[in-house]
Amino acid sequence: MAAAVQPGDPARIGAYVVRGRLGAGGQGVVYLAQAPGGRPVAVKVLRAADEEAAALLRREAEVLPRMAAFCTAQVLEVGAAGAEPYVVSEFIEGPTLQQAVAARGPLRGRELHRLAVGTATALAAIHRAGVVHRDFKPGNVLLSPEGPRVIDFGIARPVGDAGAGDEVAGTPPYMAPEQFRPGAGAAADVFAWGATMVFAASGAPPFGAGPLPALVHRILRAEPDLGGLDGDLRELVAACLAKDPARRPAAREVLLRLLGRTPSAVSDPLAAGSAAARAGGPAPEGTARLAAPIKAGGKARG
């Protein structure tokens, strides 16, 4: 459920009536709102409407329409309320992976495999759309009843200029070694996917937390702690966490390995992956049947 509005929150944003808060961060606030026809939507509003922050919001609005509907919340409108720009997107009920693990502990067995397939499918689709997310992490994986959705593309980049500029961006426990210098590409998302799967299975990222210098040292030099992972998934995640980005599998290969297929055996792995990640109904031939949708407490996200 959404949290209550706070003093100073707007009653309306453009044509949308604010009903509650879905989340807040350094960039701004995400509100649960009601569209004129009654539909619930998520509205992300910047806290500080400086040009850099506005550019991040515009980039998110430009990137999201490239994604398949099963990957993320879809953008409905981009606007401005006075000097504050906002993006309206589809509202999706469900906790984040971070919230779900905090509420009831790590995932196991078929439930973990279902999450792995669904998130790998989304990541492969994101990369096929020509986008590098750059901040894939448990807090940006939304567990909807229809399967995982990847959210928050505020620092995403097109593949061709993922290393443009000189900023270092991301969430440190889930950042690849190359993200601590300019020039990281799609392989950094694969590393972050592997780190996220470790968190899902153990409740902690593979290199721990704590002071940034020590964390960065472990990411650059230490072997990951793969926690509760075992079997083929453990082997796959270990490959995704390779220090050298050239040694990591591409997102499409990750998905195919999860499906137990070779590249020549599947004409469209995204279709197979999205079908396997949906609850109910038979899984495509050669894939595992997956558990029912993850249900847990926590705030809804859009």
> Do 102 and 170 fall into the same domain?
yes
The arithmetic mean of pLDDT across residues 131-149, rounded, is 90
pLDDT digit string, tens, across residues 188-234 = 999 999 999 999 999 999 999 999 999 999 999 999 999 889 999 99
> Do 135 and 73 fall into the same domain?
no
> Do 67 and 113 fall into the same domain?
no
We report the CATH number of the domain holding residue 236 as 1.10.510.10
> Do 233 and 176 fall into the same domain?
yes
C-alpha 57/C-alpha 154 separation (Å) is: 6
Domain membership flag for residue 298: no
> Do 62 and 188 fall into the same domain?
no
pLDDT band, very low/low/confident/very high, at 86 (cuts 50, 70, 90): confident
**Is 135 tagged catalytic?**
yes
In the predicted model, is pLDDT for residue 291 greater than 50? no
pLDDT digit string, tens, across residues 213-223 = 999 999 999 99
| Domain membership of residue 102 as a residue range | 97-277
**Total count of domains within the chain:** 2
> Do 63 and 103 fall into the same domain?
no
Percent of the chain's residues with pLDDT above 70: 72
> Do 163 and 42 fall into the same domain?
no
We report the CATH number of the domain holding residue 85 as 3.30.200.20
* Catalytic one of 9, 135, 189, 232: 135
Q: Which residue shows structure tokens 């270990």?
A: 238
> Do 85 and 101 fall into the same domain?
no
**pLDDT value of position 251:** 95
Domain membership flag for residue 289: no
pLDDT digit string, tens, across residues 172-185 = 999 999 998 877 88
> Do 58 and 185 fall into the same domain?
no
**pLDDT value of position 280:** 34
